[in-house]
């Protein structure tokens, strides 16, 4: 995508570990990028929660999100308190 936007040699977008503050439902078998809200808590720890309905036509969740929660192909449901990987959207635009 970045090459299509005119960047000659785009760098990989780094992943950041964050603690999930709610449950995320996902079936293993494919990688998913769920929209999320990333915040830094009072202890200096990154936390994230999904924006809710992840349907492609749900504009509310797209407008609220500031990151993607990256869930690998082998990952199933994520429990509250588990560590997940996120991509911050600021670096994408």
Enumerate the domain spans of the chain: 1-50+64-93
> What's 63's DSSP letter?
H
Least confident interval from 7-16, 18-27, 41-50: 7-16
6: Cβ contacts below 8 Å, ≥ 6 apart:
none
pLDDT at 2: 65
Cβ neighbours of residue 14 under 8 Å, at least 6 residues apart? 87, 91
Task: Tell which CATH classification among 2.40.340.10, 2.40.30.10, 3.40.190.170, 3.40.190.10 matches the domain 1-50+64-93.
Answer: 2.40.340.10
| Percent of the chain's residues with pLDDT above 90 | 63
The pTM (predicted TM-score) of the whole model is 0.81
pLDDT band at 91 (very low <50, low <70, confident <90, very high): low
Average pLDDT, integer, range 25-35: 93
């Amino acid at each position: 995508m970045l090459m299509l936007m005119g960047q000659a040699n785009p760098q990989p977008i780094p992943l950041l570990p964050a603690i999930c503050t709610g449950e995320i439902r996902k079936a293993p078998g494919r990688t998913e990028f769920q929209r999320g809200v990333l915040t830094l808590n009072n202890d200096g720890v990154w936390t994230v929660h999904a924006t809710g309905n992840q349907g492609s036509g749900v504009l509310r969740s797209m407008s609220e999100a500031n990151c993607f929660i990256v869930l690998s192909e082998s990952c199933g449901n994520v429990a509250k308190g588990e560590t997940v990987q996120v991509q911050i959207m600021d670096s994408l635009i």
